Structure 1
Protein backbone atom coordinates (compact mmCIF):
# COMPACT_ATOMS: atom_id res chain seq x y z
CA UNK A 1 0.00 0.00 0.00
CA UNK A 2 1.48 3.34 -1.03
CA UNK A 3 1.41 6.57 0.94
CA UNK A 4 -1.22 8.01 -1.42
CA UNK A 5 -3.56 5.08 -0.76
CA UNK A 6 -2.99 5.43 2.98
CA UNK A 7 -3.86 9.11 2.83
CA UNK A 8 -7.04 8.23 0.99
CA UNK A 9 -8.01 5.88 3.80
CA UNK A 10 -7.45 8.56 6.42
CA UNK A 11 -9.52 11.17 4.55
CA UNK A 12 -13.23 10.72 4.44
CA UNK A 13 -14.93 10.55 1.07
CA UNK A 14 -16.82 13.82 1.52
CA UNK A 15 -13.80 15.86 2.64
CA UNK A 16 -12.81 18.45 0.02
CA UNK A 17 -9.17 19.02 -0.88
CA UNK A 18 -9.18 22.59 0.42
CA UNK A 19 -10.63 21.64 3.81
CA UNK A 20 -8.84 23.05 6.87
CA UNK A 21 -6.19 20.89 8.45
CA UNK A 22 -7.15 18.59 11.25
CA UNK A 23 -6.26 19.74 14.73
CA UNK A 24 -3.42 17.55 15.95
CA UNK A 25 -2.59 17.76 19.66
CA UNK A 26 0.87 19.01 20.43
CA UNK A 27 3.46 16.54 21.63
CA UNK A 28 4.36 16.34 25.29
CA UNK A 29 7.79 17.69 26.30
CA UNK A 30 10.72 15.31 26.45
CA UNK A 31 11.80 14.00 29.84
CA UNK A 32 15.43 13.90 31.02
CA UNK A 33 15.48 10.14 30.39
CA UNK A 34 14.54 10.56 26.72
CA UNK A 35 17.33 10.58 24.15
CA UNK A 36 17.85 13.97 22.48
CA UNK A 37 18.75 12.35 19.19
CA UNK A 38 18.59 8.97 17.44
CA UNK A 39 20.43 8.59 14.18
CA UNK A 40 20.11 11.83 12.22
CA UNK A 41 16.82 12.86 13.85
CA UNK A 42 16.46 15.27 16.77
CA UNK A 43 13.57 14.32 19.04
CA UNK A 44 11.19 17.18 19.81
CA UNK A 45 8.46 15.66 21.99
CA UNK A 46 6.47 12.58 22.99
CA UNK A 47 3.44 11.57 20.96
CA UNK A 48 2.53 8.37 22.80
CA UNK A 49 3.86 5.47 24.82
CA UNK A 50 3.06 1.95 25.93
CA UNK A 51 4.97 -0.92 27.50
CA UNK A 52 6.65 -1.75 24.18
CA UNK A 53 8.03 1.68 23.28
CA UNK A 54 7.58 5.38 22.66
CA UNK A 55 6.47 7.56 19.77
CA UNK A 56 8.37 10.81 19.27
CA UNK A 57 8.03 13.70 16.90
CA UNK A 58 11.40 14.42 15.33
CA UNK A 59 13.14 16.47 12.70
CA UNK A 60 16.41 16.10 10.81
CA UNK A 61 19.10 18.71 10.35
CA UNK A 62 17.76 19.57 6.92
CA UNK A 63 14.29 20.28 8.31
CA UNK A 64 12.57 17.01 7.35
CA UNK A 65 9.97 15.92 9.91
CA UNK A 66 9.31 12.34 10.99
CA UNK A 67 7.76 10.17 13.68
CA UNK A 68 10.22 7.95 15.56
CA UNK A 69 9.16 4.71 17.24
CA UNK A 70 11.66 3.43 19.82
CA UNK A 71 11.60 0.36 22.07
CA UNK A 72 11.63 0.53 25.85
CA UNK A 73 14.38 -0.85 28.02
CA UNK A 74 12.42 -4.00 28.84
CA UNK A 75 11.26 -4.87 25.35
CA UNK A 76 14.70 -4.15 23.87
CA UNK A 77 16.20 -6.84 26.12
CA UNK A 78 13.78 -9.51 24.82
CA UNK A 79 15.02 -11.24 21.66
CA UNK A 80 11.48 -12.24 20.64
CA UNK A 81 10.22 -8.68 21.06
CA UNK A 82 13.08 -7.41 18.92
CA UNK A 83 12.18 -9.89 16.19
CA UNK A 84 8.56 -8.73 16.25
CA UNK A 85 9.71 -5.12 15.95
CA UNK A 86 11.91 -5.93 12.93
CA UNK A 87 9.14 -7.95 11.25
CA UNK A 88 6.62 -5.15 11.77
CA UNK A 89 9.01 -2.61 10.22
CA UNK A 90 9.65 -4.91 7.25
CA UNK A 91 5.92 -5.08 6.56
CA UNK A 92 5.66 -1.28 6.22
CA UNK A 93 5.83 0.35 2.75
CA UNK A 94 9.34 1.19 1.63
CA UNK A 95 8.51 4.85 1.12
CA UNK A 96 7.15 5.06 4.68
CA UNK A 97 10.39 4.02 6.42
CA UNK A 98 12.91 6.85 6.38
CA UNK A 99 15.65 5.31 8.55
CA UNK A 100 16.24 2.72 11.24
CA UNK A 101 19.19 1.37 13.20
CA UNK A 102 20.84 -2.01 12.76
CA UNK A 103 19.05 -4.94 14.36
CA UNK A 104 22.45 -6.47 15.20
CA UNK A 105 23.07 -3.80 17.87
CA UNK A 106 22.08 -6.02 20.78
CA UNK A 107 23.07 -3.40 23.36
CA UNK A 108 20.90 -0.68 21.82
CA UNK A 109 17.14 -0.24 21.56
CA UNK A 110 15.66 -0.57 18.07
CA UNK A 111 14.07 2.52 16.52
CA UNK A 112 12.55 3.47 13.19
CA UNK A 113 11.82 6.88 11.62
CA UNK A 114 8.50 7.01 9.79
CA UNK A 115 7.31 9.49 7.22
CA UNK A 116 7.58 11.36 4.98
CA UNK A 117 5.91 14.36 6.60
CA UNK A 118 5.84 17.57 4.60
CA UNK A 119 6.27 20.97 6.17
CA UNK A 120 3.15 22.08 8.01
CA UNK A 121 1.67 24.55 5.54
CA UNK A 122 -1.81 24.48 6.99
CA UNK A 123 -3.16 22.02 4.46
CA UNK A 124 -5.02 18.83 5.20
CA UNK A 125 -2.38 16.73 3.39
CA UNK A 126 0.36 17.72 5.84
CA UNK A 127 -1.81 16.72 8.81
CA UNK A 128 -2.77 13.43 7.17
CA UNK A 129 0.85 12.48 6.58
CA UNK A 130 1.63 12.95 10.24
CA UNK A 131 -1.41 10.95 11.29
CA UNK A 132 -0.41 8.14 8.93
CA UNK A 133 3.12 8.07 10.36
CA UNK A 134 1.76 7.99 13.91
CA UNK A 135 -0.60 5.14 13.04
CA UNK A 136 2.25 3.15 11.53
CA UNK A 137 4.33 3.69 14.64
CA UNK A 138 1.47 2.51 16.82
CA UNK A 139 1.14 -0.61 14.67
CA UNK A 140 4.83 -1.41 15.12
CA UNK A 141 4.67 -1.04 18.90
CA UNK A 142 1.43 -3.01 19.05
CA UNK A 143 3.11 -5.86 17.17
CA UNK A 144 5.80 -5.92 19.85
CA UNK A 145 3.26 -5.84 22.65
CA UNK A 146 0.92 -8.31 20.85
CA UNK A 147 -2.14 -6.49 22.15
CA UNK A 148 -3.99 -6.77 18.83
CA UNK A 149 -3.64 -10.52 18.38
CA UNK A 150 -7.15 -11.95 17.90
CA UNK A 151 -8.47 -14.14 20.70
CA UNK A 152 -9.08 -17.78 19.81
CA UNK A 153 -11.70 -19.49 21.92
CA UNK A 154 -13.09 -18.35 25.22
CA UNK A 155 -11.07 -16.27 27.65
CA UNK A 156 -9.94 -18.39 30.58
CA UNK A 157 -7.26 -18.09 33.19
CA UNK A 158 -5.24 -15.01 34.14
CA UNK A 159 -4.51 -12.21 31.72
CA UNK A 160 -1.33 -12.45 29.71
CA UNK A 161 1.38 -9.98 30.64
CA UNK A 162 4.97 -9.68 29.42
CA UNK A 163 7.62 -10.05 32.07
CA UNK A 164 9.30 -6.83 30.89
CA UNK A 165 6.24 -4.56 30.97
CA UNK A 166 7.40 -2.96 34.21
CA UNK A 167 10.62 -1.67 32.63
CA UNK A 168 9.21 1.27 30.70
CA UNK A 169 12.21 3.54 30.52
CA UNK A 170 13.45 4.38 27.01
CA UNK A 171 15.90 1.82 25.72
CA UNK A 172 19.64 2.32 25.57
CA UNK A 173 20.91 4.64 22.88
CA UNK A 174 24.26 5.96 21.67
CA UNK A 175 24.97 9.49 20.53
CA UNK A 176 28.12 10.45 18.67
CA UNK A 177 29.05 13.14 18.07
CA UNK A 178 27.66 14.87 21.13
CA UNK A 179 24.33 16.65 20.58
CA UNK A 180 25.49 20.09 21.64
CA UNK A 181 25.85 22.81 20.49
CA UNK A 182 23.75 21.93 17.40
CA UNK A 183 20.61 21.42 19.48
CA UNK A 184 20.99 24.74 21.28
CA UNK A 185 18.82 27.65 20.28
CA UNK A 186 20.57 30.93 19.37
CA UNK A 187 19.70 32.32 22.80
CA UNK A 188 21.23 29.28 24.50
CA UNK A 189 24.39 29.61 22.41
CA UNK A 190 24.83 33.21 23.48
CA UNK A 191 24.30 32.18 27.10
CA UNK A 192 27.00 29.50 26.74
CA UNK A 193 29.43 32.01 25.18
CA UNK A 194 28.68 34.55 27.92
CA UNK A 195 29.34 31.95 30.63
CA UNK A 196 32.69 30.97 29.08
CA UNK A 197 33.78 34.62 28.75
CA UNK A 198 32.77 35.30 32.36
CA UNK A 199 34.81 32.35 33.60
CA UNK A 200 37.84 33.56 31.65
CA UNK A 201 37.53 37.07 33.13
CA UNK A 202 37.25 35.70 36.66
CA UNK A 203 40.36 33.57 36.18
CA UNK A 204 42.30 36.55 34.78
CA UNK A 205 41.20 38.70 37.73
CA UNK A 206 42.33 36.04 40.20
CA UNK A 207 45.77 35.85 38.57
CA UNK A 208 46.09 39.67 38.63
CA UNK A 209 45.17 39.88 42.33
CA UNK A 210 47.69 37.17 43.16
CA UNK A 211 50.38 39.15 41.32
CA UNK A 212 49.51 42.32 43.26
CA UNK A 213 49.70 40.51 46.60
CA UNK A 214 53.02 38.75 46.08
CA UNK A 215 54.98 41.11 43.82
CA UNK A 216 56.63 42.93 46.82
CA UNK A 217 57.06 39.86 48.99
CA UNK A 218 60.44 39.61 50.75
CA UNK A 219 62.76 36.76 49.75
CA UNK A 220 62.86 33.63 51.82
CA UNK A 221 65.20 33.47 54.85
CA UNK A 222 67.64 31.86 54.54
CA UNK A 223 67.97 32.02 50.81
CA UNK A 224 68.22 28.66 49.11
CA UNK A 225 71.67 27.36 48.18
CA UNK A 226 71.99 27.00 44.42
CA UNK A 227 74.96 24.96 43.18
CA UNK A 228 77.07 26.28 40.33
CA UNK A 229 77.73 24.25 37.18
CA UNK A 230 81.12 23.26 38.68
CA UNK A 231 79.35 21.72 41.69
CA UNK A 232 80.73 24.38 44.08
CA UNK A 233 78.78 26.53 46.48
CA UNK A 234 79.68 29.66 48.39
CA UNK A 235 78.88 29.56 52.10
CA UNK A 236 79.06 32.60 54.32
CA UNK A 237 80.17 31.74 57.89
CA UNK A 238 79.43 34.27 60.64
CA UNK A 239 80.69 33.48 64.18
CA UNK A 240 78.01 33.90 66.79
CA UNK A 241 80.32 33.91 69.89
CA UNK A 242 83.63 35.68 70.37
CA UNK A 243 86.73 33.46 70.53
CA UNK A 244 88.21 32.75 73.95
CA UNK A 245 90.75 35.27 75.28
CA UNK A 246 94.08 33.47 75.08
CA UNK A 247 96.20 36.50 75.80
CA UNK A 248 97.76 36.56 72.38
CA UNK A 249 97.10 39.27 69.93
CA UNK A 250 95.85 38.29 66.60
CA UNK A 251 93.62 39.40 63.86
CA UNK A 252 90.02 40.03 64.68
CA UNK A 253 87.74 37.38 63.17
CA UNK A 254 85.79 38.78 60.31
CA UNK A 255 83.21 37.42 57.98
CA UNK A 256 84.74 35.55 55.11
CA UNK A 257 83.39 34.00 52.00
CA UNK A 258 85.12 30.71 51.25
CA UNK A 259 84.36 28.64 48.19
CA UNK A 260 84.06 25.00 49.05
CA UNK A 261 83.32 21.86 47.14
CA UNK A 262 80.59 19.47 48.14
CA UNK A 263 78.06 19.85 50.90
CA UNK A 264 78.31 23.11 52.91
CA UNK A 265 79.25 22.72 56.57
CA UNK A 266 78.57 25.00 59.49
CA UNK A 267 80.94 26.38 62.16
CA UNK A 268 81.87 24.04 65.00
CA UNK A 269 81.24 25.36 68.54
CA UNK A 270 84.19 26.61 70.51
CA UNK A 271 86.19 23.93 72.33
CA UNK A 272 84.89 21.02 70.26
CA UNK A 273 87.69 18.86 68.88
CA UNK A 274 87.56 17.96 65.26
CA UNK A 275 86.02 14.67 64.48
CA UNK A 276 88.26 11.93 63.22
CA UNK A 277 86.53 9.79 60.59
CA UNK A 278 88.22 6.75 62.12
CA UNK A 279 86.39 7.27 65.42
CA UNK A 280 83.09 6.32 63.82
CA UNK A 281 84.07 2.66 63.73
Structure 2
Protein backbone atom coordinates (compact mmCIF):
# COMPACT_ATOMS: atom_id res chain seq x y z
CA UNK A 1 0.00 0.00 0.00
CA UNK A 2 2.80 2.38 0.77
CA UNK A 3 4.38 1.76 -2.57
CA UNK A 4 1.14 2.39 -4.43
CA UNK A 5 0.66 5.67 -2.49
CA UNK A 6 4.11 6.86 -3.41
CA UNK A 7 3.52 6.11 -7.05
CA UNK A 8 0.21 7.92 -6.97
CA UNK A 9 1.74 10.97 -5.36
CA UNK A 10 4.49 11.12 -7.97
CA UNK A 11 1.95 10.81 -10.74
CA UNK A 12 -0.12 13.65 -9.35
CA UNK A 13 2.82 16.02 -8.96
CA UNK A 14 4.49 15.26 -12.33
CA UNK A 15 4.28 17.93 -15.00
CA UNK A 16 2.27 17.10 -18.09
CA UNK A 17 4.44 15.74 -20.92
CA UNK A 18 4.91 17.96 -23.96
CA UNK A 19 3.65 16.60 -27.26
CA UNK A 20 6.44 15.15 -29.39
CA UNK A 21 7.25 16.84 -32.65
CA UNK A 22 6.57 14.70 -35.71
CA UNK A 23 9.75 13.00 -36.86
CA UNK A 24 10.91 14.03 -40.34
CA UNK A 25 11.55 11.14 -42.69
CA UNK A 26 14.91 11.66 -44.37
CA UNK A 27 15.04 11.29 -48.12
CA UNK A 28 16.30 7.97 -49.33
CA UNK A 29 19.88 8.17 -50.58
CA UNK A 30 20.48 6.70 -54.00
CA UNK A 31 23.18 4.01 -53.93
CA UNK A 32 26.30 4.81 -55.87
CA UNK A 33 26.99 2.70 -58.94
CA UNK A 34 30.23 0.81 -59.27
CA UNK A 35 32.71 2.11 -61.87
CA UNK A 36 32.59 0.73 -65.37
CA UNK A 37 35.13 -1.93 -66.27
CA UNK A 38 37.26 -1.76 -69.45
CA UNK A 39 35.10 -4.40 -71.13
CA UNK A 40 31.88 -2.47 -70.45
CA UNK A 41 30.42 -0.49 -73.36
CA UNK A 42 30.51 3.29 -72.87
CA UNK A 43 27.21 3.65 -74.69
CA UNK A 44 24.30 1.50 -75.85
CA UNK A 45 21.78 3.09 -78.15
CA UNK A 46 21.19 6.68 -77.05
CA UNK A 47 22.21 6.05 -73.43
CA UNK A 48 25.64 6.75 -71.93
CA UNK A 49 26.51 4.26 -69.19
CA UNK A 50 27.75 5.76 -65.90
CA UNK A 51 28.35 2.68 -63.75
CA UNK A 52 27.31 -0.83 -62.77
CA UNK A 53 24.31 -1.42 -60.52
CA UNK A 54 24.31 -5.22 -60.47
CA UNK A 55 25.28 -8.33 -62.38
CA UNK A 56 24.62 -12.03 -62.66
CA UNK A 57 25.37 -14.76 -65.18
CA UNK A 58 22.59 -13.52 -67.48
CA UNK A 59 23.57 -9.87 -67.75
CA UNK A 60 24.38 -6.52 -66.18
CA UNK A 61 22.45 -3.57 -64.81
CA UNK A 62 23.87 -0.13 -65.61
CA UNK A 63 23.02 3.40 -64.52
CA UNK A 64 22.63 5.41 -67.72
CA UNK A 65 21.77 8.85 -69.04
CA UNK A 66 20.68 9.86 -72.52
CA UNK A 67 21.58 12.97 -74.50
CA UNK A 68 18.75 14.98 -72.94
CA UNK A 69 19.83 14.17 -69.37
CA UNK A 70 17.09 11.59 -68.74
CA UNK A 71 18.20 8.88 -66.29
CA UNK A 72 17.48 5.19 -66.86
CA UNK A 73 18.53 1.70 -65.85
CA UNK A 74 19.91 -0.43 -68.69
CA UNK A 75 19.77 -4.24 -68.55
CA UNK A 76 22.16 -5.92 -70.98
CA UNK A 77 22.88 -9.59 -71.65
CA UNK A 78 26.27 -11.23 -71.26
CA UNK A 79 28.07 -12.77 -74.22
CA UNK A 80 27.14 -16.26 -73.02
CA UNK A 81 23.42 -15.64 -72.67
CA UNK A 82 23.33 -13.55 -75.85
CA UNK A 83 24.57 -16.56 -77.85
CA UNK A 84 21.70 -18.76 -76.58
CA UNK A 85 18.57 -18.49 -78.71
CA UNK A 86 16.31 -19.66 -75.85
CA UNK A 87 17.79 -17.08 -73.47
CA UNK A 88 17.20 -14.34 -76.05
CA UNK A 89 13.59 -15.43 -76.42
CA UNK A 90 13.08 -15.25 -72.65
CA UNK A 91 14.61 -11.77 -72.58
CA UNK A 92 12.31 -10.52 -75.34
CA UNK A 93 9.25 -12.15 -73.75
CA UNK A 94 9.80 -10.46 -70.38
CA UNK A 95 10.50 -7.07 -71.97
CA UNK A 96 7.31 -7.32 -74.01
CA UNK A 97 5.38 -8.01 -70.79
CA UNK A 98 6.56 -4.83 -69.05
CA UNK A 99 4.42 -1.68 -69.02
CA UNK A 100 4.82 0.44 -72.12
CA UNK A 101 5.78 3.51 -70.09
CA UNK A 102 8.52 1.57 -68.29
CA UNK A 103 10.42 0.62 -71.47
CA UNK A 104 12.26 3.70 -72.70
CA UNK A 105 14.21 1.99 -75.48
CA UNK A 106 15.56 -1.39 -76.57
CA UNK A 107 17.37 -2.87 -79.53
CA UNK A 108 15.93 -5.22 -82.10
CA UNK A 109 15.75 -8.90 -81.23
CA UNK A 110 16.77 -9.78 -84.81
CA UNK A 111 20.32 -8.51 -84.22
CA UNK A 112 21.81 -11.96 -83.73
CA UNK A 113 25.35 -10.59 -83.57
CA UNK A 114 24.57 -8.13 -80.76
CA UNK A 115 23.57 -8.55 -77.13
CA UNK A 116 20.00 -7.58 -76.25
CA UNK A 117 19.50 -4.60 -73.95
CA UNK A 118 16.61 -2.55 -72.61
CA UNK A 119 16.47 0.89 -70.96
CA UNK A 120 14.00 1.04 -68.07
CA UNK A 121 12.46 4.05 -66.38
CA UNK A 122 11.17 6.68 -66.25
CA UNK A 123 13.36 8.32 -63.60
CA UNK A 124 12.88 12.00 -62.89
CA UNK A 125 15.91 14.29 -62.36
CA UNK A 126 17.56 13.80 -59.00
CA UNK A 127 16.25 16.56 -56.74
CA UNK A 128 16.96 14.79 -53.43
CA UNK A 129 13.39 13.61 -52.92
CA UNK A 130 12.37 10.08 -52.07
CA UNK A 131 10.29 9.84 -55.26
CA UNK A 132 13.46 9.78 -57.34
CA UNK A 133 14.86 6.93 -55.26
CA UNK A 134 11.59 5.01 -55.56
CA UNK A 135 11.54 5.32 -59.35
CA UNK A 136 15.16 4.25 -59.50
CA UNK A 137 14.50 1.19 -57.32
CA UNK A 138 11.45 0.24 -59.38
CA UNK A 139 13.52 0.38 -62.56
CA UNK A 140 16.23 -1.73 -60.92
CA UNK A 141 13.70 -4.33 -59.79
CA UNK A 142 12.33 -4.57 -63.32
CA UNK A 143 15.83 -5.01 -64.69
CA UNK A 144 16.48 -7.77 -62.15
CA UNK A 145 13.27 -9.50 -63.21
CA UNK A 146 14.37 -9.44 -66.84
CA UNK A 147 17.77 -10.95 -66.07
CA UNK A 148 16.30 -13.45 -63.63
CA UNK A 149 13.89 -14.65 -66.31
CA UNK A 150 16.86 -15.23 -68.61
CA UNK A 151 18.73 -17.09 -65.89
CA UNK A 152 15.55 -18.91 -64.69
CA UNK A 153 16.70 -18.71 -61.07
CA UNK A 154 13.23 -17.77 -59.79
CA UNK A 155 11.34 -20.63 -61.38
CA UNK A 156 9.56 -22.53 -58.60
CA UNK A 157 10.72 -26.06 -57.88
CA UNK A 158 8.38 -28.77 -59.11
CA UNK A 159 8.60 -32.13 -57.40
CA UNK A 160 11.46 -33.39 -55.28
CA UNK A 161 15.04 -32.27 -55.76
CA UNK A 162 17.07 -35.03 -57.37
CA UNK A 163 20.34 -35.19 -59.19
CA UNK A 164 22.85 -32.39 -59.71
CA UNK A 165 21.93 -28.72 -59.67
CA UNK A 166 20.78 -27.17 -62.92
CA UNK A 167 23.29 -24.87 -64.56
CA UNK A 168 23.41 -23.14 -67.94
CA UNK A 169 26.29 -24.07 -70.19
CA UNK A 170 27.05 -20.38 -70.79
CA UNK A 171 27.26 -19.23 -67.17
CA UNK A 172 31.07 -18.95 -67.23
CA UNK A 173 30.98 -16.49 -70.13
CA UNK A 174 30.12 -13.43 -68.07
CA UNK A 175 31.69 -10.67 -70.14
CA UNK A 176 29.27 -8.05 -71.49
CA UNK A 177 27.78 -9.06 -74.80
CA UNK A 178 28.74 -7.62 -78.16
CA UNK A 179 27.62 -4.07 -78.83
CA UNK A 180 27.86 -1.56 -81.67
CA UNK A 181 28.87 2.06 -81.22
CA UNK A 182 27.62 4.51 -83.81
CA UNK A 183 28.18 7.35 -83.70
CA UNK A 184 31.50 6.92 -81.96
CA UNK A 185 31.59 7.93 -78.27
CA UNK A 186 34.42 10.42 -78.79
CA UNK A 187 34.29 13.35 -78.29
CA UNK A 188 30.67 13.64 -77.16
CA UNK A 189 31.38 11.87 -73.87
CA UNK A 190 34.22 14.18 -72.88
CA UNK A 191 33.71 16.54 -69.98
CA UNK A 192 35.33 20.00 -69.79
CA UNK A 193 38.20 18.58 -67.73
CA UNK A 194 38.72 15.86 -70.34
CA UNK A 195 38.71 18.45 -73.12
CA UNK A 196 41.38 20.44 -71.29
CA UNK A 197 43.57 17.36 -70.81
CA UNK A 198 43.14 16.39 -74.47
CA UNK A 199 44.09 19.85 -75.79
CA UNK A 200 47.03 20.08 -73.40
CA UNK A 201 48.37 16.70 -74.51
CA UNK A 202 48.08 17.65 -78.20
CA UNK A 203 49.92 20.93 -77.64
CA UNK A 204 52.65 19.14 -75.69
CA UNK A 205 53.08 16.63 -78.51
CA UNK A 206 53.37 19.42 -81.09
CA UNK A 207 55.99 21.26 -79.01
CA UNK A 208 58.05 18.08 -78.62
CA UNK A 209 57.88 17.41 -82.37
CA UNK A 210 58.96 20.98 -83.19
CA UNK A 211 61.84 20.77 -80.72
CA UNK A 212 63.00 17.47 -82.23
CA UNK A 213 62.98 18.95 -85.75
CA UNK A 214 64.93 22.02 -84.57
CA UNK A 215 67.58 19.87 -82.87
CA UNK A 216 67.95 17.75 -86.00
CA UNK A 217 68.41 20.90 -88.10
CA UNK A 218 71.12 22.18 -85.76
CA UNK A 219 72.99 18.88 -85.90
CA UNK A 220 72.99 18.44 -89.68
CA UNK A 221 73.06 21.99 -91.07
CA UNK A 222 76.94 22.10 -91.20
CA UNK A 223 77.55 18.48 -92.13
CA UNK A 224 79.82 17.94 -95.19
CA UNK A 225 78.44 16.66 -98.43
CA UNK A 226 78.54 12.95 -98.92
CA UNK A 227 81.14 11.78 -101.54
CA UNK A 228 79.79 9.79 -104.46
CA UNK A 229 79.96 6.08 -103.93
CA UNK A 230 82.51 3.77 -105.59
CA UNK A 231 81.99 2.46 -109.11
CA UNK A 232 80.84 -1.11 -108.96
CA UNK A 233 82.36 -3.25 -111.75
CA UNK A 234 80.41 -5.45 -114.10
CA UNK A 235 79.41 -8.80 -112.57
CA UNK A 236 81.63 -10.58 -115.14
CA UNK A 237 84.73 -8.72 -113.88
CA UNK A 238 85.64 -7.31 -117.31
CA UNK A 239 85.68 -3.83 -118.84
CA UNK A 240 85.12 -3.07 -122.52
CA UNK A 241 87.73 -0.71 -124.09
CA UNK A 242 87.20 0.85 -127.51
CA UNK A 243 90.34 1.14 -129.72
CA UNK A 244 90.29 3.93 -132.34
CA UNK A 245 92.32 3.26 -135.58
CA UNK A 246 95.12 5.72 -136.26
CA UNK A 247 97.10 6.52 -139.45
CA UNK A 248 100.89 6.13 -139.15
CA UNK A 249 102.85 9.36 -139.74
CA UNK A 250 104.72 9.82 -143.02
CA UNK A 251 108.24 8.42 -143.07
CA UNK A 252 107.63 5.90 -140.40
CA UNK A 253 107.64 3.11 -142.94
CA UNK A 254 104.94 0.98 -144.34
CA UNK A 255 103.30 -1.71 -142.40
CA UNK A 256 104.83 -5.11 -142.67
CA UNK A 257 103.23 -7.25 -145.29
CA UNK A 258 101.36 -10.30 -144.39
CA UNK A 259 102.44 -13.75 -145.53
CA UNK A 260 99.97 -13.53 -148.38
CA UNK A 261 101.63 -10.38 -149.70
CA UNK A 262 98.97 -7.95 -148.53
CA UNK A 263 99.54 -5.48 -145.76
CA UNK A 264 97.96 -6.33 -142.41
CA UNK A 265 94.91 -4.29 -141.61
CA UNK A 266 94.84 -1.78 -138.84
CA UNK A 267 93.01 -3.16 -135.78
CA UNK A 268 89.63 -1.65 -135.33
CA UNK A 269 86.87 -2.46 -132.83
CA UNK A 270 86.72 -3.26 -129.19
CA UNK A 271 88.87 -5.24 -126.84
CA UNK A 272 87.61 -7.04 -123.79
CA UNK A 273 89.79 -7.62 -120.79
CA UNK A 274 90.88 -6.29 -117.44
CA UNK A 275 92.18 -2.73 -117.26
CA UNK A 276 95.97 -2.68 -116.72
CA UNK A 277 97.20 -0.74 -113.81
CA UNK A 278 100.38 1.28 -113.37
CA UNK A 279 102.79 0.27 -110.65
CA UNK A 280 104.82 2.58 -108.43
CA UNK A 281 107.67 2.84 -111.01
CA UNK A 282 105.39 3.89 -113.78
CA UNK A 283 105.40 0.54 -115.52
CA UNK A 284 102.19 -1.16 -116.37
CA UNK A 285 101.53 -4.21 -114.27
CA UNK A 286 98.95 -6.89 -114.84
CA UNK A 287 95.55 -6.04 -113.61
CA UNK A 288 94.72 -7.11 -110.13
CA UNK A 289 91.06 -7.65 -109.32
CA UNK A 290 91.62 -5.88 -106.05
CA UNK A 291 92.89 -2.73 -107.83
CA UNK A 292 89.74 -2.09 -109.79
CA UNK A 293 88.27 -0.16 -106.91
Q: Which of 71, 83, 86 is equivalent to 1:65? A: 71
Cα shift at 1:155: 1.9
CA distance in 1, matches of 2:228, 2:115: 68
1:277 is aligned to: 270
Per-residue deviation, 1:145: 0.7
Aligned to 1:190, which of 196, 201, 211? 196
Q: Paired residue for 1:49?
A: 55
Aligned: 1:92 with 2:98:
yes
The answer to whether the aligner puts 1:118 opposite 2:111 as a matched pair is no
Q: After TM superposition, give the deviation of residue 111 of structure 1 in Å.
A: 0.4
Larger radius of gyration: 2
Runs of 4+ in 1 over 3 A off after TM superposition: none
Q: CA deviation at 1:56?
A: 0.5
CA deviation string 1:195-219 (max 9, x = no partner):
1111111111111122222222333
Q: How does 1:149-164 map to 2 (within 5 A)?
A: 149-164=155-170
The Cα shift of 1:185 comes to 2.3
User: Residue 82 of structure 1: which of 81, 88, 91 is its match?
Assistant: 88
Does structure 2 conserve the Cα–Cα contact (< 8 Å) formed by 1:40 and 1:60? yes
Q: Which runs of 5+ in 1 are unaligned?
A: 1-17, 224-273
User: In 1, Cα distance between the equivalents of 2:199 and 2:141?
Assistant: 42
The whole-number CA distance in structure 2 between the counterparts of 1:26 and 1:170 is 20
**C-alpha distance in structure 2 between counterparts of 1:156 and 1:213, whole Å:** 83
SS in 2 for 1:277: strand
| Aligned-residue offset at 1:148 | 1.3
Question: Aligned equivalents of 1:93 and 1:126: distance in 2?
Answer: 19
Inter-partner Cα distance in structure 2 for 1:64 and 1:151: 40
- Normalised to the residue count of structure 2, the TM-score between the two structures is 0.69
The CA deviation at 1:178 is 2.2
CA separation of 1:28 and 1:278: change in aligned 2, threshold 3 A = same
Equivalent in the alignment of 1:173: 179
Which structure 2 segments of 5+ residues have no match? 1-23, 230-266, 274-293
Q: State the shift of 1:103 in Å.
A: 0.9
SS in 1 for 2:109: coil
TM-score when normalising by structure 1: 0.71
Q: CA deviation at 1:220?
A: 2.9
Of 35, 44, 60, which aligns to 1:38? 44
How many equivalent pairs are there?
Answer: 214
- Report the RMSD for the aligned CA atoms in angstroms: 2.2
